[in-house]
Structure 1
Amino acid sequence: MKKTIVTTFALLSILNFTLKAEENRETVTDSTAVKHLNLSEVQVNASRVNAKMKDLPQKVDVISRRVIEASPAADMAGLLKASSSVDIQQYPGVNAGIGIRGFSASTSSKYAVILINGKPAGTKNIATIDLNNVERVEILKGPFSAQYGSAAMGGVVNIVTKESTGDIAGAVDLQYGSFQTSKANMNVGGALSDVFDFDFAYSYYNQAKDYKVGDHNFYDEDYAKTILDVSTYGERMENSQLLKQNFDARLGIKLSENWKINYNASYFLADDVEAPGTFWHIYGMNKKDLDKFSTGMDVLGQIGNHKLTISPFYSKENSDFFSKDMDANYYQSSENVFKNYGFLINDAIAIGKHTFALGIDNNTEKYESTLWGNSGDEAAPYLPNYSHSATGIFGQIHFKLFNDKLNASVGTRFDQIAFKINENQFLNAKSKTENYSVLTENIGLKYDLGLGLAAHASWGNAFLAPDAYQVAGSFSTIYATTKGNPNLDPEKSNTFDLGFAYKDFKKGINFDLTYFQTHHKDKIVTESIDPDGTPYNGDEYNTYMNANKADMNGLEVVASYDFGALSDYDYSLRVYLNYTHLFDATVETKSGNEYLESQMKYVRDNTASFGIEFDNLKGFTTRLNGRYIGHRYEDNWITTWAKTPINFKGADVRPDLLNESVLRHPVSYVFDYSANYTFKEKYSVGITISNLLDENYTEKDGYNMPGRAVIAKIGYRF
């Protein structure tokens, strides 16, 4: 924490010095070479009202294509963790979730809505989203249920894909490096005629050798070893190999000057992905097959001052899991199918400088699962089949008042939700149907104080419907039994934020300080039940309950300075910091007649990305990026689930913590470095070093992440 504060003050001192030195500068040339540096002018697609980033009262981060290309990330999870102050929980084996502003980073991404071009991404797993065809990523922080319905409590991530309309051009690159990792990326796009344009992208990723866990800790290694355990340092994560491929295609049809259709399709395929079941293989060394097909259409048109979007979508995601029997032979143990379909209609009406967006949003999710034993007989699944359908009608107004000094945004949404659980004899689950409606609102204000200064504030409420797993799920392992609670209520939240910003692209300065506060009612938490009060006699189980309340408050700092502004952007040399600090994150539960307050689990107290990047705007780029992963409280699964010591290679795991039910996980610092040089405007060579300092760290207890990895790259543009 102290290091982060010092870094913040040092950066602010640089900004203040440069501001004074630059008071009399001339206007920066707005050349094509530097336009991609000025993200405040980017139109944020996820805003519904086609507003520019600089005009939105809500907190928005944008990750540009320039940053994506410089990142060593292989998927959306890797990009977000290194390029924004969001929290990512990632497992080996293509599985990751996101948390924003203190909401836990569940791998089901319950508290964040994931969109691709404004439509549902068709997956809760951001590790299945490839980067090859991504133009930029928009991260909206705060409650957005008034625009996107259930789950938008922490925020929204909207992924904007490429739309090439000029001359046909493309690129191909080949990469190879640590853990026998090979990568290949290809993309091409452009106009086929005055009517048709297209994009096509393909990516291949193969990690043919188990990765090696990091061997050091940058900060407080003695404490880190008590949690991570000495047995993990510098060792191989057995059963961590994977192979995945991704295809993306778009066909654009220009119907007239004001009307166009974009048809999109994507296919993700990953077979025989290895799942280690923690470093110590507590849950076995298994495999899984993943495949996902998504398709959708955007009908874009303009009639007078009406800008219309009609977008139907469909996706299907299959997850097949394979376990080992007593003879170490694989058998299919489960099959899960997730379908997501619906449509979006949005009309953005321009009235002078103001915009009014009105629309309807229909979204259905269906989940089907089947479980088998090693004999091939069908068994009880983790949860019954279910469907969740929501139809929302929303309105959003964006005003520009007082000579454009005040930007105001007001919105509301009414959702009608139908929730159905199918009967399942194995789970003793009865068919159940629920219908309910929810009204959500938001409001935001941003006022230009002059000289680049602005004040902004926003408020919004949000909700999250419990899923079938929490309501009617039931499964048992050798460690514990988990049962759903049919009486769960939806979670509800209210969030307020207030901040000040100073932005001046001509001077190279971008700074924003935002305080946020969230009150959470009926938060769904886990609880251990022991009916007769006798420990570990077989009748105890875990279930879900609504907490009385939960509260979070914190501070976000976004700061950067580009030294290139000193030379009229002949180059870019930018230092940056994106930091989220939680002052408090507590949950209050009722036990008998008493209310007990405790620290919220699975929530990071600090998350940050920071670093320095250089671009000579003539073909050479280099970037050193750091990621700060703060403490978080997490159940000690050895005590909570296994209930007996875990022995690995003759020694007990975490022997001094066997009686601790909750652990405070250590701080980690993860640094990445990249450099790329393009010559003759066509050829490129580059190198990336992930986890430069070989940090041993986890994002989920027991699942240590890869250590240092070096990847070399060659590329060709045409």
Structure 2
Amino acid sequence: MKKPGFTMLILLILLLPLSGWADSSSQDQSVNQLEETVVTSGRIEEKKQDVTTNITVYTSEDIEQSSIQDLSDLLLKEGFYINEYPNSTISVGIRGLSTDTHGNDLASNVLILINGRRAGTGNIAKITMNNVERIEIIRGPGSVQYGAAAMGGVINIITQKGWEGFTASVEATMGSWDYAEGAMDFAGGVNWFDYSVSASKSSKGDFKTGDGIKYDNTGYDSKENIDFDAGITFSPKNRIGFSFSSHDGNQIGSPGKLESVNTEDYVDHALESFDIYYDGQTQDDFLLWKLRYFSGKDEYYITYPSSPSKNYTRDTKNQGLQAQITARWDLIDVTGGLDWVDYGIESSNGPGKENTFDNPAFFILTKTRLMEERLILSLGGRYDKYEIESTSGKTKNESNLSWSFGTVYKFSESLSIRGNIADAFRMPTADQLFSYTDYSAFGWGIWSGNEDLDPENSRTYEIGIDYAENSLSASLTYFYTEFKDKISYESIGGGVTQYKNIEGATISGFEGSIKYNISDRFNWAFKVEPYGSFTIFDEYTDDSTGENLTQTPDWSASYGLSVSNREIGLSSRLNFTHYGEQDMSDGTQLNPVDVADWSISKRLFSFEKYGEVALKGEIVNLFDEDYALVQGYPSPGRTFYLGVKYTY
């Protein structure tokens, strides 16, 4: 199964010299590509080419090209591993590690951020694409920058702010399975004040699989989203902002496996957050600072009408503070600051109630530029202090020191190599430490915590090469992770299952991407751009069993062709996603699958000063594949979407 992946790897290397094909008239595009900036890796704006880790950026244009309702839709099409239980609970995996299946932010090994602070959930079904400017993804550890749970990677959703003037749009979409959505947004600014607002509401019925079998209880009554950001620029380069975000899902089907569908069970869930922040800097750009206070809640309610005693609720409230300052000299940038987060988790039953998690931290990140900025060195360290307390008053205090070191060497403006070594960790939850709960009503027996649990920890090594010139960009990264003290569980007799630390895992492999704008060579009016990306595991072994990690495809890829013409307002994309073979925890396997999606958008009318109207369409699962990403939970068959959007 790995041969196709290595073939892609070889082709990627061979294609690097083809940059000479590009027309010299595309030099401006090359400069723009090279000057792309990111904020996630160093917590300040910096050139993407100066980052020592493998980082991927998806722009608002990438998001706009297809009918994406939430973050899982985007990541699925981009080849990230998605573990989906229809509509209500969706996790994402990066480099063999993932967010928690049940959405618990503190139990995840991939960290979700919104504007650089913890989103408060690991359930990406709750992360909408409203008001999103771009998404930055660190593939690999981010604990030095952001603390616990960032072992496999960090996904940072950066929302849009207003600007001078006024823009607005209204969109209506209909689709298969009685899907309907209405959305609107507007943004603008006057003098010192700016704002950005978006809202949407959707509903969906039960879907059919690729085999034409109706999968009952897979729809939902409504998903409502509101996002708001406003700011005051009281002096040049100094802005105070306020933001609010709300996702509310009602009567979401919770069907169980296809062969044992329960048509009555449903989930209500919500994610809400409030932020107030201040971004500023001196006029000479020597000092930059950021302050942010945030609070929010993550709600999950599951209802069993036939067995009310099983009804379950979990409310997670969080608040936090971020403060950092950066000093920039000619040769070195130094960023230091503190983070603080506090969680309160209440559950109606299960292991533990009203558990708390308190975490202050201090960090320092440095970046040095040598040899006329051809050599970049980065060094970072972070100290985290934890106090975890259960409802019974039991506490555990723990601390952790993380560090990272990376380097970039630029052979030219087009070609560079990078390397990085970084630690990461995850603290045990209060449930895993202190619980003692009878799950006999569910048939699971008694589950017991273990106060002697150690934090999970890892060390990752990676080396990569990046190339970007004219219309060709390509990247290749090798990574190796030693994952230790994984928190698992075992039976200790008497019907009791207890949490424990086990050996962990060894994970290594390659990541690659390539994109080439053919149009520049032939001076076409249309932009024609084939692209591809892949992740292939050389090793993904559970050290305690010697077997492959479960629910991890041996390789995955996303590839396709994008065509667009701004003059006539046309864009289209044909995308293929491949998931390789994966072992499941019950001893079965999921076979490899390829899924195709096709989207198109065409401007119908333009009213000069009064905006334009565009027609959008998409076919998801174009060839009606019958497949599942989780054993027993099939994905929808061929699905159609058609929408109309007015933009002013």
Which residue in the other structure is 2:334 paired with? 356
* Aligned equivalent of 1:81, options 63, 76, 81: 76
* Aligned equivalent of 1:66, options 50, 57, 61: 61
User: SS at 1:450's partner residue?
Assistant: coil
Which residue in the other structure is 1:400 paired with? 369
For 1:481 and 1:608, the matched residues in 2 are separated by: 40
Q: Which has the higher strand share?
A: 2
Which residue in the other structure is 1:21 paired with? 21
For 2:113 and 2:13, the matched residues in 1 are separated by: 34
For 2:293 and 2:404, the matched residues in 1 are separated by: 26
Identity %: 27
For 2:498 and 2:208, the matched residues in 1 are separated by: 36
Q: Which amino acid aligns with 2:541?
A: T
Contact 2:98 2:152 in 1 (8 A): no
For 1:41 and 1:501, the matched residues in 2 are separated by: 13
* Aligned equivalent of 1:197, options 187, 194, 198: 194
1:625 aligns with 2:590: no
For 2:262 and 2:359, the matched residues in 1 are separated by: 36
Q: TM-score, normalised by structure 1?
A: 0.84
- Aligned pairs (5 A) from 1:98-117: 98-107=92-101, 108=103, 110-117=108-115
* 1:283 CA displacement: 6.8
The structure-2 alpha-carbon separation of the partners of 1:569 and 1:314, relative to structure 1 and needing over 3 Å to count, comes to farther
Which residue in the other structure is 2:557 paired with? 608
Q: Which amino acid aligns with 1:287?
A: Y
1:43 aligns with 2:38: yes
User: SS at 2:141's partner residue?
Assistant: coil
1:544 aligns with 2:499: yes
* 1:685 CA displacement: 0.4
The structure-2 alpha-carbon separation of the partners of 1:127 and 1:628, relative to structure 1 and needing over 3 Å to count, comes to same
Residues 302-322 of structure 1 deviation map (CA, whole Å, 9 limit, x = unaligned): 135111110000001222221
The structure-2 alpha-carbon separation of the partners of 1:401 and 1:346, relative to structure 1 and needing over 3 Å to count, comes to same
1:677 aligns with 2:594: no
The structure-2 alpha-carbon separation of the partners of 1:179 and 1:443, relative to structure 1 and needing over 3 Å to count, comes to same
For 2:332 and 2:602, the matched residues in 1 are separated by: 44
Which residue in the other structure is 1:587 paired with? 542
Q: Which amino acid aligns with 2:447?
A: K
1:210 aligns with 2:206: yes
For 1:389 and 1:547, the matched residues in 2 are separated by: 25
Which residue in the other structure is 2:143 paired with? 145
Larger mean CA deviation between 118-127 and 382-391 belongs to 382-391
Which residue in the other structure is 1:510 paired with? 473
1:136 aligns with 2:115: no
For 1:562 and 1:542, the matched residues in 2 are separated by: 56
* 1:613 CA displacement: 0.6
Residues 335-381 of structure 1 deviation map (CA, whole Å, 9 limit, x = unaligned): 2111111110111221125321111000111110114xxxxxxxxx3
Residues 180-207 of structure 1 deviation map (CA, whole Å, 9 limit, x = unaligned): 101111110010x212110110011110
Which residue in the other structure is 2:86 paired with? 92
For 1:7 and 1:485, the matched residues in 2 are separated by: 45
The structure-2 alpha-carbon separation of the partners of 1:260 and 1:172, relative to structure 1 and needing over 3 Å to count, comes to same
For 2:35 and 2:55, the matched residues in 1 are separated by: 10
The structure-2 alpha-carbon separation of the partners of 1:479 and 1:697, relative to structure 1 and needing over 3 Å to count, comes to farther
The structure-2 alpha-carbon separation of the partners of 1:560 and 1:336, relative to structure 1 and needing over 3 Å to count, comes to same
Contact 1:39 1:62 in 2 (8 A): no
Which residue in the other structure is 1:315 paired with? 296
User: SS at 1:67's partner residue?
Assistant: helix
Residues 380-433 of structure 1 deviation map (CA, whole Å, 9 limit, x = unaligned): x3433311111110010112211111122110001111111112xxxxxxx310
Instruction: Give the greater-gyration-radius structure (CA).
Output: 1
The structure-2 alpha-carbon separation of the partners of 1:628 and 1:484, relative to structure 1 and needing over 3 Å to count, comes to farther
Unaligned runs of 5+ in 2: none
The structure-2 alpha-carbon separation of the partners of 1:248 and 1:321, relative to structure 1 and needing over 3 Å to count, comes to same
Larger mean CA deviation between 681-690 and 346-355 belongs to 346-355
The structure-2 alpha-carbon separation of the partners of 1:154 and 1:39, relative to structure 1 and needing over 3 Å to count, comes to farther
Which residue in the other structure is 2:531 paired with? 576
* 1:5 CA displacement: 4.1
For 1:519 and 1:8, the matched residues in 2 are separated by: 23
* 1:40 CA displacement: 5.4
For 1:90 and 1:689, the matched residues in 2 are separated by: 20
Which residue in the other structure is 1:692 paired with? 622
For 2:54 and 2:410, the matched residues in 1 are separated by: 15
Contact 1:40 1:54 in 2 (8 A): yes
For 2:155 and 2:446, the matched residues in 1 are separated by: 31
Contact 1:325 1:331 in 2 (8 A): no
* Aligned equivalent of 1:495, options 460, 464, 468: 460
User: SS at 2:625's partner residue?
Assistant: coil
For 1:542 and 1:606, the matched residues in 2 are separated by: 33
- Aligned pairs (5 A) from 1:112-127: 112-127=110-125
User: SS at 2:365's partner residue?
Assistant: strand
1:343 aligns with 2:321: yes
* 1:10 CA displacement: 5.0
For 1:614 and 1:600, the matched residues in 2 are separated by: 38
- Aligned pairs (5 A) from 1:207-606: 207=204, 209-215=205-211, 234-242=212-220, 243-281=222-260, 285-303=264-282, 305-325=286-306, 333-371=311-349, 381-423=350-392, 431-450=393-412, 452-473=414-435, 474=437, 475-481=439-445, 483-486=447-450, 487-504=452-469, 506=470, 508-529=471-492, 531=493, 539-567=494-522, 570-589=525-544, 596-606=545-555
Which residue in the other structure is 2:589 paired with? 664
The structure-2 alpha-carbon separation of the partners of 1:571 and 1:42, relative to structure 1 and needing over 3 Å to count, comes to farther
The structure-2 alpha-carbon separation of the partners of 1:19 and 1:254, relative to structure 1 and needing over 3 Å to count, comes to closer
For 1:284 and 1:210, the matched residues in 2 are separated by: 10
Aligned length: 631
Larger mean CA deviation between 458-467 and 352-361 belongs to 352-361
The structure-2 alpha-carbon separation of the partners of 1:45 and 1:297, relative to structure 1 and needing over 3 Å to count, comes to farther
* 1:470 CA displacement: 2.4
Which residue in the other structure is 1:165 paired with? 163
For 1:79 and 1:435, the matched residues in 2 are separated by: 38
The structure-2 alpha-carbon separation of the partners of 1:562 and 1:546, relative to structure 1 and needing over 3 Å to count, comes to same
* 1:708 CA displacement: 1.0
Unaligned runs of 5+ in 1: 216-233, 372-380, 424-430, 532-538, 590-595, 637-661
Which residue in the other structure is 1:534 paired with? none
The structure-2 alpha-carbon separation of the partners of 1:50 and 1:482, relative to structure 1 and needing over 3 Å to count, comes to farther
The structure-2 alpha-carbon separation of the partners of 1:349 and 1:177, relative to structure 1 and needing over 3 Å to count, comes to same
Contact 2:563 2:573 in 1 (8 A): yes
User: SS at 1:28's partner residue?
Assistant: helix
The structure-2 alpha-carbon separation of the partners of 1:357 and 1:542, relative to structure 1 and needing over 3 Å to count, comes to same
Q: Which amino acid aligns with 1:455?
A: I
Larger mean CA deviation between 410-419 and 258-267 belongs to 258-267
